[in-house]
Structure formats: structure tokens, C-alpha cells
Structure 1
Amino acid sequence: MSSPARVTVHVPTGPIPAALAARSPFAGKDICAEAGWELRAGSHRAMFDEDVWDVRGLADAPKSMIETVKVWNFSRIVNPRWRLTAKEYLFAAVVPQHEAVLTLPDAPRVPLKPQSCYGTVVELVHWLNFLTEQGLGSLQDVLQEHCDSWKEIRSYHTRHASQSHRKLQPGSLGHVIYPVKFLGLYSALFTAEGYRDGFVPWGKATVSEIVGKVWSPVNNTPPVPDEVFQPAVAAALYVVETMGPLVADLVDLARSQDESIVASGINKWSAERRQRLLDALEHHAREKLPFPRVEAKYIKVRLTRGWSPQDPLLEVNIRRVLQQSIGAENLPSFRCCWTRCGQGGKPPWRRRGSRRSTPATRRRCPARMIPRSWSRGRHRCHGTTSATCTPWSWGRAGWWWQRSAACARANWSSSRSTRRCRPRQWRVAPNGFAWEAS
């Protein structure tokens, strides 16, 4: 595929002309107030006149709506006149009941949801800047050929060069076509400029028809075989019912530690605080308790900064120990006390007991305990939460599903009929996985 020839043109940049901005029917409007979105107390209120709409204070935003998608940046649109057009389009989409929008006969009447606004702004930026690169100075000059060229360009993978020859599925192009087509439905609303009168890209064709998406009344996906479906469901139930409550407790523990420990500067040392730290270190030495271990990536940083690989404090999370004992962050000048404890380090969170049995092993071999839990650092704690509680990350966390399937299979197999008296043999891998031998 060869993209259309592009030329470099010089267009006016900078802020939107004040005269145009003042004439907009939405000038001075509060975005969230007009759309009926509630904000947390003290949050920033996004105004229409701003080029960056920051709605991170949304009170009822979905959990899947991360902070970065709550900032809608129009300033990346090169042409300032088109920047005003894009802002008016998005405002009309989220506030369709506004009196200026109600006069448009073809404008959609269903408000655009907050979680859809970020993607709409991104596609508007790409589309309008593409027109600028094509040498257009006015939206009145947009032709159907420009729209078809843009659709063809965006029909291919663009994130990886190795995939640039592969064409996207029709269902993946809808979000690209929506702003291109719907700008034609609001042309009479725009203060600066819009498409020429009567021009709507692709005419009366729907977005599904434009991208070639075929709707079928029947399910074209074949049923999943039981030998694939059963382990997947068992793994999902294991993640939700067994691991879910444990992960929730782990997150609560991590948050409580962050909230309860307030680190102050090293300038506030006192004899009492020094003694508290010495007592804490002596407690570790006396009880032979390992210090919290720092994440592996920070160990590499220490080595690059000149730490010796034989340093006894190389793996110790010094900051965490200081926070827990005296609420400080910096290492004081009694390294000898640390070294004398010599207990090494371990990750701060793990389940009590490193081994765990299953119903099958308890019934057939009570003395056989299968390792099931790993110690977790803070980085792995966040990874555990993501893999367990975030549906769209399950596909990426294949090893979680493999481990869950192995554990769930043990529980599922034990609930089946045991009329056959063949004893089950269990294999345990060095990494803690356990499965039934065939």
C-alpha cells in the first residue's frame, strides 16, 4: 500500500482567534456541568475555552477509565480554526440537548459517554492533521477522495512495521470513520468552518456499511470443545473464588502500609529515634527475621552505581525498614548495625505457609504438600492485582491461567467420581506448579 503524496505546508498555529472563540455558542461553558457529570469536591472544572479538557475529577468514572484517558488534548490540532471545530463537535456530542444542537435534524440524540471521548479526540487530531499535511487550508475543500484515502491508510496496521502489510478487520475501523463522517452532520453548527453545505462523507451509508462489517443473525464462532472449555472455566473460577479474596487482602495490606507510614526527613534525628531503629535491627538479629527485599530492578540499579555484589545490604529494602521503624527515608551512619544483623532479605508479602494441599492429596496422601505460593514484592503485588482483577489483562497473563488451571484441575478432579481405585500420581515442578500425571 502506498499512501497519498504528502506536502509540507505552512499553516497558522497558536491559539484560536479570540473573535472566533467568542462567537461560539458554547463559549464559557462548563463541560461537566452541561453534560451532567458529577465531579469530586475541589476538582478542576474543564471549560470549553480551554484547549485541554481535564476531567480527572469525574466522580462516577468507570474503573476501566484510567487517568490518561480523562485528559482530552485538542492543542495537537495544527490549524487553530479546526481546533475550534473539533471542540464544538465534541461538546455537541456529549451535550446533544443543548439548544444549538437541537436545531440540527441529523445530529445524534444519544450523549457520547466520557470513556469514548478520548478516542474521539485522538481520531479528530489524526484526521484534521492529515488534511493539513495534504495541503488543505479549509474544510470546505474536503472531498470524498480525501476520506477514502484516509480510510485506506488507516486500514493497515500502523504500530509495528512488521505488521504494516496486514489489513485490519472491518470491526476495527469504526472508531476511525465516526468522526470523519459525523463532522458532516454538524456543519451548520461550527463557528469557524466545516464541510461544504450538503457534504457528508459516504452519503447515507452507515459506518458498518462503510467499513464492510457484515452482521450475521447466527453465531459464526464454533462451540468450544469441552476439553478446552472445562479447564478454562475451572481456571476462571479458581482466580475469582480462591485467588480473588487473597489478592484483595494483599492490596489492602499494601495500601494500609503506605497510608500509615509517613516518611520525614533525616534532619529530625533524635536519640530516641536512633534507639528505636537500633531496637528494630536487634529484633531482626535476635529473631533471625529477614529484612524486606528490594525489587530486582533496584538491585541492578545499585550494582550499576558501584555497590559490591557481596554487599550484605544489596537486596535489603532499606527505605522500607526505616519507614517501619522510625518513619525516615535515608540511611543513617551506622551501617555496622545493619551488617551485624546479616539476615538478608525476602519479599514483604506472601501467604502464611509456603506449601498447600489439595482435596485430592489430603485424601490420598495426607503427608504430601504441594508448593503453591510465592513471595511477592510490591511490583509483583501490582502484577498479581492486574492479572487477577482486570479482565483485559487475562489474555496477557497466560502464566496466571496456566497456574490457575493446574490448581483448579486438582480441585475439579477430586470432585469427580472416584469409583476407579487407580491412585493419582502428582508431579511437582521446581517452580511450584503441580499437575496430575497421565
Structure 2
Amino acid sequence: MRPSTDAREHCDEFGSPFAGADVCELAGLALPEGTERPRFDDHLWNFTEVIGLPVHLPLANRRFGFTGISDPRWRLVAKELIMAMLVPHHPAVAPLPRAYRTPLHLSSSIGRLHELTRFFIWLDRRNVTSLTVIDTHLCEAYLHLRRYVTDDDGIVVGEQGHAVRRAAAQIVVDLVNYRELFTADRVSVDLRPWGGATASAVAEMPCGRQGNTTPAVADEILRPLLTAALHLVQTLGPHAVDLNEEMRRTETVSSQIKAGLRHSTLTAFDDIREVLAEYTRTDTPLPMLEDHDIDRRVAKGWSAEDPLLPVATGIIARHAGYSQLWPKWLPALREPLLAAVESVGVEKVFARNATAVPAADGSGNLSWTLPLHRSQAVGLVGVVRTAAITVLAATSGMRASELMELRVGCRRPTEEPVPGLRRFRIASKIVKGQPLGGTDDEWIVIEPAYRAIELAEQLHEDPRDGELLFGRFAFDIRYIWFRNWVNSPAGTRLGLARVPDGPATLRMFRRTLSLEMGYRPGGVLASKIHMKHCVVATTEGYLSKPGGAQAELLAEVNKNEADRNLELVLAEFRNYQNGILPAGPGARSLTEFFASIDAALNTESVAAPKLQRNDRDILNLLSKRAKVLHLGPANYCWFTDPSRALCLKLAGTPTATKPMIGMCDSARCPQATHHPTHREVWVEHAQRTETFLGQLGKTRTTERERLSADYTRALRVITEIDAATASTPVKEAP
């Protein structure tokens, strides 16, 4: 059904080139058969049913409303501008010299419309009646308005971000760039706001040289958060599935719309008495009302001391086949109800006999949850779903849009290319930077991520293949709910550590994973998840599809790794200059390299006394050595010559291009060095070995000889590190 004439713009009277046009047809947007198609003249362009729109695009951003612009001329200007951005190859748009040549996505277009509407409303309040009167002063005034945040009294209390300022400047620039297209009103021909500068320059947008500015999740937040999420997925997940099934089975009993329920019969009292007798016979507590229902009863006159106050009499009546237990029935049924309460008591309906599980802090076993009301059970299942999203995001690096594109059945069959080694794959879509409809892609993930998806499928309300697994969700809100639950008495009872206040977004999870893999292969994630598995999974994902989403993540990881190596080499060079030398078999070679760099710098400074070397100049000299640096758990490996690498000799692969850190014997390899940062690892190893030696029996001479040699080697390494850094000596080997 088409909109009425009052709801449409009379565009033909202004001679608009788009008058009467089918918006989706011109923009190349496909709609299902029978769907109403938005027309250019309509006040509302509804793109809700467009095929291929990303799941993460909110419904509100799929409806382009123009009624917020009161002036019909400016309303037409807004329509023409948005249409031009959607169809840049239209004959009326293509000749414009400064028009976009690539169609804007709907999400970008709706942002332009919102900002343009805000600008026109601002002009209307300043009694501006035509776009021709807009000058540079008005442009500056609007930018100033959008630059600062003010309170109700007009006092500046903050400053908007760069994106808001750029959007404000961009609208004015668009009105200039598309001036010749507009038929109802247009800015003056000599308007050049901000001297013709781009919107990004006006907004002082960062140039991008600083790289990715998204922060990682703080360690003090990530540790308890990831611990809690893994505990819920791996330990509580199966029981949450059972709880969800229990709620489904009792849905009809808890609802008054159950088919076949009666309002009353002559046998109603006998039927309800029989149900109460069944509760007593099976020793089942009567169902309990939720707190807000109890408050409602008290407000209607129930006594707070009445033993029947918390009893969910409606559920009992529905068990007997009646829609509810009417108040007029209560006097006749009070006696059997009181007897049942005295006999079996009153309890929350769900999870009454919860299974015992181990506590997260290892303090023992306890029931995985206390009895719950329906609303509490629904909330707990939602918390477990959020835990699954958290585990998946933290271990796979998938973007929010990619998570929302996941569907039931996205888990691919497990592969086992080598006996005992399994590969887990999931399928989704890449949306960012892709054409409408996205591009199919696959991720190779670790097993916790694979199991998190399996759990989410089991908790799905309609687990049919092809249904959206998570759908569109607001993780920032879900995270707050999750954190509140972990910090609540329920989470404390399960031994979960408190999650401090602070941000944790999906973008931050992706950033954290790349930094952990690049900077700290033994960092926070490795405390709960084997980081090697994350690296292997991401690398396999890149190899299986070099142009896929995991390739982008791996590229970010490699950049972080290169930055980390440069920082480490520079730090060790500064240590060398301060007299703190490396230890280990490769220390002499590294020291000679640092000496050559230091000599080169000193020579240049003598030749040019006014020349001061900064860190970037030094990094340029150190960069070649940084490229061969590999981090071991207790050493640095300077992989300059594969033929000298002890690990490759032991593995029988002398021509490999990377060291095998897992086989590293840094106390003997000529390319390994030890530094003060490794001392704690060696001390811990020595203490552990000493403990094992003390526990060996007299007859276990072979093990004693092996462990004694290992202990002596650890003490030797510690002594060498202390000698190089002038630290305190350690005790002699026994």
C-alpha cells in the first residue's frame, strides 16, 4: 500500500532529477518479492527488508526518515543529497566534480542524514530561511556547537570526539560539493568554508601514523573476566542447558494462555486438593512467587504474616487445569494449602536439585546454583550466553559484525590431519569493507572457542541450521550484566574473583589478542589458555585463506611482534650502555654487535658535534638484529645463523627458517642470551628442581644425576645473570 499524498514530497514541482524514482532500484538494493519499495517522494525510506544488510546494522538505521526537517525545500535537499551518495553514477550526479564516485553504505548514509537534519534544525532556530545566507561565520558557529558538550545552562563541560566534529564539518562540505544538484535551495556559489579544507582536516583527525589506538583490556580486568567466562562455559554450561530445557518444559504451566484451561467447574476444589496431595506425596515444595508479586499482594491487602503469601497459587491452579485460583476460592482451599505449606514448604521453582560442581577457586564442590525464580533462571542463561560470546571474542579475534553473522550450524566437522591433533573451524561472513551481503569466510579457532559456539547452539531458542546464533546484541550492556553477576553473591559463592570496573569491548578483545600474541606469548591469556594454540590456530587460518579475516589479524600480530622486538633490542642496547650486559652462550656476539653500534654513533657525534641521535635513529641501526629476535620462555634467541641453532640440529631440520623454541636449550645454544628479565624464571626452575631432588629415593640414581645436572645448570645461568648485572650471589649447588 502506497503512502497517502500528504506523506509524500511534491518533488516534480522543483524539477528534481530523482522525482518518482524507485530508491532501491537506482541504488541496486534487492528486496524480497511483494515488499513495499521506497520511492524518492516518500517521507520515509524503509530499507528494513533489503537483502544482504549486515546483522549488526540496527533497525533504526534501516529507516531513513525526513520528517524531522520542517522546511519542504530543505527536506528535498536532504533527499537529493542522500540519493546522490547512494547512486553516484546517476547522470545527474556523475558530472559533479567533487561528488563521491563510490556508493556510500546505508550505515554511512544514515549518519549523514542525521547530521544534516540536526544542521537544518539548528538553522531554523536561528531564523535562517534560505541556504544562500550561509556564510563562513555560520559554519564556524555550527562547528563550535558540535565541538563542545554543554549543560542545561550552556556551560561547556566537555569536548566531543574527532568523529563528531568531522561529521559536522562534512555536512557543510557536502552542501558545497553537491550545490549544482539541489533544485529547491542551495548555498551560494562563493561559499568556501574553512578555506576549502577537508572535513578531516577541520576536525583535526589523527593522521593514523600512531597505528591502532584501541587499548587492550586492562590486565586486572581481563584475568578475572576470562576466568569467569571460561568457568561458566566449561563447568556451568551443560547445567545451564538443562535449566533452559526445564524452563521450556514448564512454559505452559507458568502461563495463563495454556490451551484448555478452565475458569471454573463444580469439581475445581477437588481437583486442586488432588494437586496439593500430589505435592505432599512426592515431598515437592510448593512453587514460590517472585518478590514483585508478593509486594503486589501486600499492596492489595494480604497480611505480611500470612503463610500463604509467597505461594504461587496460580501455578497450582494451572497444574489442576484452571486458569487461576480465584480469590473467592481461597477461603475453601486455605486449610489444604496451609497443610501443604507446613508439610513440604515453599521454594523457588527452578534448579531445586542443582548438581554439584567444583568451585572456580578450587575450594571444593558445591551446587552450581541455588534455586531460582523464572526471571532469575532466564537471567542466568543470558549470563552464560554472554560468557560464550566473551570466550569466543577473546580467543578468536572476530569483530562484532563477524560474531553477529554466525549462524546455527556454523561449526565445521572437526578435522584430525595428524593423529591426536584436531583442527576446529567455524564459518561466518566478513562484512567490513565488503560488498552488500558480505563475503563468506572461515576461522580456525582453538577448542574453547569451538565449545563456546556449541554451548550457544544448545541454548538457542530455535536451534535450526541457518538461524542467527547470537543475532544483533549490545555487548557493552551484556558485559555490564555479566560483570554484575560475577560480582554478585551468586558469583562469589562459586569462587569467582571480582571483576573491577572498567571498559571491555569486542574491539578491545581483538586488540588484546593481537598484543598478547605479538608482545607477550606468555602473558595474560596464556594463564588460562595455551597461547601457542591461539598462534597456531590463527596461522592455520591465514594459510587456509590468505585473504581472509584471520590474515588481517595475523598482519596486526606480526606488526606488534616487530614493534615489540624493536623495543626489546633498544632496551637491551640501553642496558649495554649503562653497563648491564647479557649472559649466556650468545652474550659475546650480542655485546660485540652493541659495541659496533655504539662506536658508530660516537664516531658520527665527533664528526658532527651538534648532531643528537634519537631513539628512531638508533632503531634504524638495530632493526636488522630485531628481525632475528625470537622470545623463549627463559631466554632471547638471536636467530642469525640457522646452521648454528642447536634446536634445529636436535630436530634434524638445519635448513628451517625459524627456531624451534620448544626444543631450546639456551644454556648451550650459541645464539641464546639471558637477561635480568629471565632471572625469575630460572630461580623458579632451580627451586622446583631442588624440591624434586629432595623427594627422590636413594635407589633412583639415574633421575638424581639428571636432575642434579639440571639444577647445576640453572644455578650457573643465575650466577651468570647476576654477574652481568652485579646482583647478589646465589647459593652453591648441593
TM-score relative to the length of structure 2: 0.44
Q: Which amino acid aligns with 1:205?
A: A
Match of 2:42 in 1: 50
Q: Which amino acid aligns with 2:173?
A: K
Q: Distance in 2 between matches of 1:212 and 1:108?
A: 22
Match of 1:109 in 2: 101
Q: Which amino acid aligns with 1:381?
A: V
Q: Distance in 1 between matches of 2:119 and 2:200?
A: 19
- 2:257 is aligned, of 260, 263, 271, to 263
Is 1:128 the equivalent of 2:213?
no
- 1:334 is aligned, of 320, 329, 333, to 329
Cα deviation digits, residues 378-428 of structure 1 (max 9, x gap): 37735863755542225534324655996489x96899x99699xxxxxxx
Cα deviation digits, residues 336-374 of structure 1 (max 9, x gap): 55855557876655596165314763xxx7xx3245535
Give yes or no for contact 2:286–2:311 (8 Å, CA) kept in 1: yes
The alpha carbon displacement at 1:84 in A equals: 1.7
- 1:396 is aligned, of 477, 480, 483, to 480
Specify whether residues 216 and 64 from structure 1 end up closer, same or farther in structure 2 by C-alpha distance, changes over 3 A only: closer
Is 1:199 the equivalent of 2:191?
yes
Give yes or no for contact 2:256–2:324 (8 Å, CA) kept in 1: no
Match of 1:141 in 2: 133
Cα deviation digits, residues 232-259 of structure 1 (max 9, x gap): 4444545666667776787787678779
Q: Which amino acid aligns with 1:148?
A: E
- 2:375 is aligned, of 371, 374, 378, to 378
RMSD (Å) for aligned C-alpha atoms: 5.0
The alpha carbon displacement at 1:264 in A equals: 7.0
Q: Which amino acid aligns with 2:135?
A: L
SS at match of 2:181: coil
Q: Which amino acid aligns with 2:198?
A: T
Match of 2:179 in 1: 187
SS at match of 1:202: helix
Match of 1:76 in 2: 68
Cα deviation digits, residues 235-291 of structure 1 (max 9, x gap): 454566666777678778767877997827999757599688776665445445456
Equivalent residues in 2 for 1:339-418, closer than 5 Å: 339=337, 342=341, 349-350=350-351, 353=354, 355-358=356-359, 361=362, 368-370=364-366, 372-373=368-369, 375=372, 377-378=374-375, 381=378, 385=382, 388=387, 389=389, 390-394=474-478, 396-397=480-481, 398-400=483-485, 402=487, 403=491, 407=496
The alpha carbon displacement at 1:132 in A equals: 0.6
Is 1:208 the equivalent of 2:200?
yes
Specify whether residues 269 and 207 from structure 1 end up closer, same or farther in structure 2 by C-alpha distance, changes over 3 A only: same
Specify whether residues 85 and 171 from structure 1 end up closer, same or farther in structure 2 by C-alpha distance, changes over 3 A only: closer
SS at match of 1:353: coil
Q: Distance in 1 between matches of 2:58 and 2:24?
A: 18
- 1:173 is aligned, of 165, 169, 183, to 165
Q: Distance in 2 between matches of 1:165 and 1:385?
A: 37
Mark the structure with the bigger radius of gyration: 2
Give yes or no for contact 1:142–1:195 (8 Å, CA) kept in 2: yes
SS at match of 1:26: coil
Give yes or no for contact 1:16–1:81 (8 Å, CA) kept in 2: no
SS at match of 1:49: coil
Q: Which amino acid aligns with 1:109?
A: R
Q: Distance in 2 between matches of 1:207 and 1:32?
A: 29
Fraction of identical pairs, as percent: 25
Q: Tell me the matched-pair count.
A: 402
Which region of structure 1 is more displaced relative to structure 2, 266-275 or 299-308?
Answer: 266-275
Match of 2:83 in 1: 91
Give yes or no for contact 1:263–1:323 (8 Å, CA) kept in 2: no
Which region of structure 1 is more displaced relative to structure 2, 114-123 or 269-278?
Answer: 269-278
The alpha carbon displacement at 1:129 in A equals: 0.7
Which region of structure 1 is more displaced relative to structure 2, 267-276 or 46-55?
Answer: 267-276
Q: Which amino acid aligns with 1:189?
A: L
Give yes or no for contact 1:154–1:176 (8 Å, CA) kept in 2: yes
Is 1:26 the equivalent of 2:26?
no
Specify whether residues 79 and 232 from structure 1 end up closer, same or farther in structure 2 by C-alpha distance, changes over 3 A only: same
TM-score relative to the length of structure 1: 0.68
Cα deviation digits, residues 289-337 of structure 1 (max 9, x gap): 4566555445545544555545666556677777787595895853455
Q: Distance in 1 between matches of 2:484 and 2:380?
A: 12
Give yes or no for contact 2:69–2:120 (8 Å, CA) kept in 1: yes
Specify whether residues 332 and 189 from structure 1 end up closer, same or farther in structure 2 by C-alpha distance, changes over 3 A only: farther
Q: Distance in 1 between matches of 2:248 and 2:51?
A: 21
Q: Which amino acid aligns with 2:365?
A: M
Specify whether residues 114 and 273 from structure 1 end up closer, same or farther in structure 2 by C-alpha distance, changes over 3 A only: farther
Specify whether residues 394 and 59 from structure 1 end up closer, same or farther in structure 2 by C-alpha distance, changes over 3 A only: same
Q: Distance in 2 between matches of 1:370 and 1:126?
A: 57
Q: Distance in 1 between matches of 2:262 and 2:241?
A: 36
Which region of structure 1 is more displaced relative to structure 2, 174-183 or 251-260?
Answer: 251-260
The alpha carbon displacement at 1:76 in A equals: 1.8
Give yes or no for contact 2:360–2:496 (8 Å, CA) kept in 1: no
Q: Which amino acid aligns with 1:179?
A: I
Give yes or no for contact 1:158–1:164 (8 Å, CA) kept in 2: yes
SS at match of 1:72: strand
The alpha carbon displacement at 1:173 in A equals: 3.0
The alpha carbon displacement at 1:157 in A equals: 2.6
Give yes or no for contact 1:294–1:317 (8 Å, CA) kept in 2: yes
Give yes or no for contact 1:28–1:49 (8 Å, CA) kept in 2: yes
The alpha carbon displacement at 1:75 in A equals: 1.0
Specify whether residues 273 and 18 from structure 1 end up closer, same or farther in structure 2 by C-alpha distance, changes over 3 A only: farther
Q: Distance in 2 between matches of 1:40 and 1:258?
A: 34
Give yes or no for contact 1:86–1:124 (8 Å, CA) kept in 2: yes
Which region of structure 1 is more displaced relative to structure 2, 52-61 or 136-145?
Answer: 52-61
Q: Distance in 2 between matches of 1:76 and 1:108?
A: 25
Is 1:151 the equivalent of 2:143?
yes
The alpha carbon displacement at 1:16 in A equals: 6.8
Specify whether residues 285 and 69 from structure 1 end up closer, same or farther in structure 2 by C-alpha distance, changes over 3 A only: farther
SS at match of 1:166: strand
Give yes or no for contact 1:21–1:49 (8 Å, CA) kept in 2: no
The alpha carbon displacement at 1:134 in A equals: 0.9
Specify whether residues 222 and 77 from structure 1 end up closer, same or farther in structure 2 by C-alpha distance, changes over 3 A only: closer
Equivalent residues in 2 for 1:208-287, closer than 5 Å: 208-219=200-211, 229-235=222-228, 237-238=230-231, 263=257, 269=263, 271=265, 283-284=278-279, 286-287=281-282
Q: Which amino acid aligns with 1:392?
A: D
Q: Which amino acid aligns with 2:124?
A: T
Q: Distance in 2 between matches of 1:251 and 1:120?
A: 43
Specify whether residues 406 and 277 from structure 1 end up closer, same or farther in structure 2 by C-alpha distance, changes over 3 A only: same
Specify whether residues 216 and 49 from structure 1 end up closer, same or farther in structure 2 by C-alpha distance, changes over 3 A only: closer
Q: Distance in 2 between matches of 1:329 and 1:92?
A: 60
Q: Which amino acid aligns with 2:484?
A: W
